[in-house]
Amino acid sequence: MGCSCPSDGSAPKARPAERRSIQAWRTFPGNAILIKQNGKAHIAGACDHMTEDEVLAPRWGWIIDPAPGQWGRINATAPAMATGGNTSLSAASRCLDCMDGLGDA
């Protein structure tokens, strides 16, 4: 009756967790770390609550070519410093939506 439940009345089978795909952006490569004024790091295209057109200095800084593993090391004691855009910005935490989209939450 409009749902995807099995017709035999059994419980629906659980679907595997769906992973969001990283969207291609024009300006920033898929591994670029974007740093917002609030100190939160994002990965270009990994979350859907911002667009590439919003990522402009001075509200944002970025790291175009981060060191291997740098995304996973971002925390309060090892912040990521912007190397482009607003280079005075640093990120001490990572966006949860980006972490989910990348599968590293």
Q: Are 94 and 71 in contact (CB under 8 A)?
A: yes
Question: What is the per-residue pLDDT across 67-78, written as a single tens digit (0 to 9) for each?
Answer: 999 999 999 999
Does residue 84 lie within any of the structural domains?
A: yes
Does residue 75 lie within any of the structural domains?
A: yes
* Number of domains the chain contains: 1
- Please give the residue range of the domain that contains residue 45: 33-102
Does residue 12 lie within any of the structural domains?
A: no
Question: What is the per-residue pLDDT across 9-55, written as a single tens digit (0 to 9) for each?
Answer: 554 444 444 444 556 688 888 899 999 999 999 998 898 888 899 99
Q: What is the pLDDT of residue 76?
A: 96
Does residue 14 lie within any of the structural domains?
A: no
- A 10 A CB-CB count for 82 gives 20
Does residue 50 lie within any of the structural domains?
A: yes
Does residue 80 lie within any of the structural domains?
A: yes
More confident residue, 59 or 7: 59
Does residue 7 lie within any of the structural domains?
A: no
Does residue 3 lie within any of the structural domains?
A: no
Q: What is the mean pLDDT of residues 90-96?
A: 97
Residue 100's SS3 state is helix
Token digits of residue 87: 């280079």
Residue 84's SS3 state is strand
Q: Are 20 and 100 in contact (CB under 8 A)?
A: yes
